Amino acid sequence: MAATADWNGVIARRRDEIIQGWLNFLRAEGALQTGRIKDAELQSECGRVLALVAPDLAHAGDRSPASDELSQTLSALSRSRALQGFTPSETANFVLGLKPALFGAVAAEYAGQGDLIAAATLDATRKLDRLALITIEAYQRSREEVIIRQQREISELSTPVVKLWDGILALPLIGTLDSERTQVVMENLLQSIVDTSAEIAIIDITGVPTVDTLVAQHLLKTVAAARLMGADCVVSGIRPQIAQTMVHLGVELNVVSKASLADALALALQRIGKRVTDVPQALAAPDYSR
């Protein structure tokens, strides 16, 4: 069997030198520039990871007994990097930055044994690349978690159901409607209909930038569900361009629709037997501004 590098030995003997090399690389890459992380913090992270990398490198196979702890540590590290606002490259560079320092140490340790250095370098490259991928994946995952949480928050925030009159509700929709958000919107509206015993719900889409086939379908489903519960829906605020696009796309929206929220409210009041009229000047409320 060919001689292999004694990684545990190399790292134990040249630990300070490797960490210094690693830190220099990271500093040169600008890891500290933004001030999001301190030098001492970086130094302790390097030390902690190096201690776990050593047994992993020394292990002949792909997964050493230290692999799990190592990937957990790196994942936790990337998660905090993601939350602190580091870029994916900066996050991956943390692990990759260990390479030059390690290679330097091996070259110094085994000077003159070219084959051994080449084999060790190749092996370390493979393992460190895999670790870099782990950090990227963890980074990506935590970004996705953030996005999902924000989506949920946005959809909750952006779907208020307001009562305009006894028996009349309005749902002013703002922003793009996707399937998930529409489901939340739909459930909110229908529950509010029950809670307030509303007879008519006005869905105002003035703030919706585009209405495609899918959105139209969602709207129709909401209207159909409200009807099943015994309430009518009126759609208001379809902008001219949207109306035109919908006709061109062949999207049919077979619902009662009104140009503005005001028109829809007038219709709703009429349906529940109310009317808005002008008050004669003499009976009008006094002008308090004087």
Partner 1 sequence: MDRIPILKMGDALLITIQVDMHDRLALALEEDLTAKIAATRAKGVLIDISSLEIVDSFIGRMLDNIAAVSRMLDADTVVVGMRPAVAITLVELGLSLTGVKTALNVERGMLLIQKRLRGLGDFSGRRS
Query: Counting contacts by CB under 8 A, is residue 193 touching partner 1?
Result: yes
Out of 6, 129, 199, 263, name the contact with partner 1 by CB under 8 A: 199
Looking at beta carbons only, is 138 or 253 nearer to partner 1? Answer: 253
Q: Which two tokens stand for residue 175?
A: 């922003």
Which one of the spans 25-33, 43-51, 143-151, 195-203 is the region binding partner 1 (CB under 8 A)?
195-203
Which residue from 98, 102, 170, 186 is in contact with partner 1, where contact means CB under 8 A?
A: 186
- Binding mask 200-239 toward partner 1 (x if CB under 8 A, else -) reads ---------------------x--xxxxxxxx--------
Spell out the long-range contacts of 104-113 with Cβ–Cβ below 8 A and sequence spacing 24 or more: 104/17, 104/18, 104/21, 105/10, 105/11, 105/14, 105/17, 105/18, 105/21, 106/5, 106/10, 108/14, 109/5, 109/10, 109/13, 109/14, 110/5, 113/3
Q: How far is the CB of 220 from partner 1 (least distance, A)?
A: 9
Give start and end residues of each alpha helix (H) in 59-158: 67-84, 88-96, 98-109, 114-157
Give me the least distance between CB of 231 and partner 1, in Å please: 6
Contact letters (x/-) for partner 1, 145-184, by CB under 8 A?
A: ----------------------------------------
Site for partner 1 in 43-102 (CB under 8 A): none
Cα–Cα distance list, 210 to 170, 176, 188, 246 (Å): 20, 7, 22, 9
Nearer residue to partner 1 within complex by CB, 147 or 162:
162
Residues in touch with partner 1 (CB under 8 A): 186-187, 190-191, 193-194, 197-199, 221, 224-231
